[in-house]
Structure 1
Amino acid sequence: MMQKKHCTLLAILGAAAQVLGCATPPPSPAELDQQAMAMIKASFREQGIAKLDRLKQDLGQQACSSAEAPAEAITKQIEEEAMATVRWPKGGNYIGDWRAGEKLAQNGRGMTWTDKSAAPSANGAQCYNCHQIDKKEISFGTIGPSLWNYGKLRGVSNPADPASAAIVQYTWGKLWNSKAYSACSNMPRFGHAGLLDEQQLRDVMALLLDPKSPVNQ
């Protein structure tokens, strides 16, 4: 008899637990996002030049790290706001030294807590991490498209020619803030984020567009 009562009590408790479990709704996506962000913030600490402000997301980062692609209106807003941040080069001088550009493309240093400075002069462009550029370099990433013959394939025989203006300006804008052309671009926003300065950007531009650059041979 006691055993029967014990089994009945366990059954009642089990049923009650199931009811309570069903009555508790799962966390909403927004609540899960908040929990995840709280965990991330609790897991990081400032050290050297790496500050906690790096965890703060802007609209583009928030929308593009969501489980779903941003709505068309949000995508348009991200791109328009990004385009408004683009600073065009002083005097309309877009092209620098392709040799310096190649050095920047090969340089993967910068913005880590072990680096002494966050100044652009301390940073590389790290282009080969994601792109093929000069075919002499056999080590390159494939996250981004190949940039081999970048200017040549786009008909740029003279970057100063008005006929080349559209491609030249697009390339500068893409380097300055890639989200101006693709809201969820994975490409670093070199100018907007202060990763490279204007002269460094000119040099990378030369690597891609100068007819004398090995990229366009």
Structure 2
Amino acid sequence: MNKQFTFALSALASMLVAGCATGPSSADLDQMAAAIVKSSFSDKGIVKVSAIAPEDINVACTAADVAGKPIAPELAAQLQAAQLKTIKWPTDGQYLGDWKAGEKLAQSGRGLTWTDKADTANGGNCYNCHQLDPKEISFGTIGPSLTGYGKSRGVIANPNSAASKAIVEYTWGKIWNAKAYNACSVMPRAVHKGIITEKQAKDLMALLLDPKSPVNQ
């Protein structure tokens, strides 16, 4: 345990004890907690401490969660608008890649550890939160089931309709940066945060929207 960590932890403990009489401010506690975090983490391999740097959107959502109430609608709209600007649309106008590659990606949770190389392909980890193939018997339930995603939304039957175009664009944006549509979404901002590439995003799009994909069977 280094000296900075020991000092921060001791100071925090002292403040908590003193709090019985004086009540430390939340700002003081936040400052001490930040010092502990800063002294406890360091860059290692491809994993950088900057990945846990606080952002306005995360700070606001955490504060709302601690308060036990939803984030204010006006603030949510403001934060979502900023996130929406980070989405990059396909320059070639093509949203769908290879659904078979997308299926492998969705079922892979590997990557982003300090032992990985920078050129290691990350998984999408989609299975951890969603059911994809209707035949699956093991899947996460944090997010909604995605079975029949394109079929149930009319994209398969009417791919050229305005409604289908809107669904395709929304799906692309959701994969790129989920917080653009839900400020406090727990879904990873997959492409925006460099978890997956634009090509991989196209493969996931195909998994969800290609009529031959098992998702739409």
Question: Of the two, which has the highest radius of gyration?
Answer: 1
The AA in structure 2 aligned to 1:184 is C
Q: Paired residue for 1:214?
A: 214
Q: Paired residue for 1:29?
A: 26
Q: Paired residue for 1:203?
A: 203
Aligned runs of 1:18-57 on 2, under 5 Å? 25-57=22-54
Structure 1 range deviating more: 106-115 or 66-75:
66-75
Q: Paired residue for 1:131?
A: 130
Distance 1:150 1:172 in 2: 13
Distance 2:19 2:111 in 1: 51
- 1:169: how far off? 0.3
The AA in structure 2 aligned to 1:179 is K
Structure 1 range deviating more: 38-47 or 156-165:
156-165
Number of residue pairs the alignment of both structures matches: 195
1:151 pairs with 2:150:
yes
Distance 1:167 1:195 in 2: 23
Q: Paired residue for 2:57?
A: 60
- 1:24: how far off? 5.0
- What stretches of structure 1 of length at least 5 have no aligned partner? 1-20
Aligned CA-pair RMSD: 1.9
The AA in structure 1 aligned to 2:132 is I
The AA in structure 2 aligned to 1:190 is A
Q: Percent same amino acid among aligned pairs?
A: 55
- 1:212: how far off? 1.1
TM value normalised by structure 1? 0.84
Structure 1 range deviating more: 63-72 or 124-133:
63-72
Question: After superposition, what is the alpha-carbon deviation per residue over 1:143-175, rounded to whole angstroms, capped at 9, x for unaligned?
Answer: 100001111111111685143100000000000
Q: Paired residue for 1:142?
A: 141
- 1:136: how far off? 2.8
1:116 pairs with 2:113:
no
Structure 1 range deviating more: 154-163 or 106-115:
154-163
Contact 1:159 1:209 in 2 (8 A): no
Distance 2:59 2:128 in 1: 24
- What stretches of structure 2 of length at least 5 have no aligned partner? 1-17
Contact 2:151 2:157 in 1 (8 A): no
- Alpha carbons of 1:159 and 1:32: their partners in 2 closer, same or farther (altered >3 Å)? farther
- 1:208: how far off? 0.5
Indicate the structure with greater helix content: 1
Q: Paired residue for 1:169?
A: 169
Aligned runs of 1:73-92 on 2, under 5 Å? 73-92=74-93
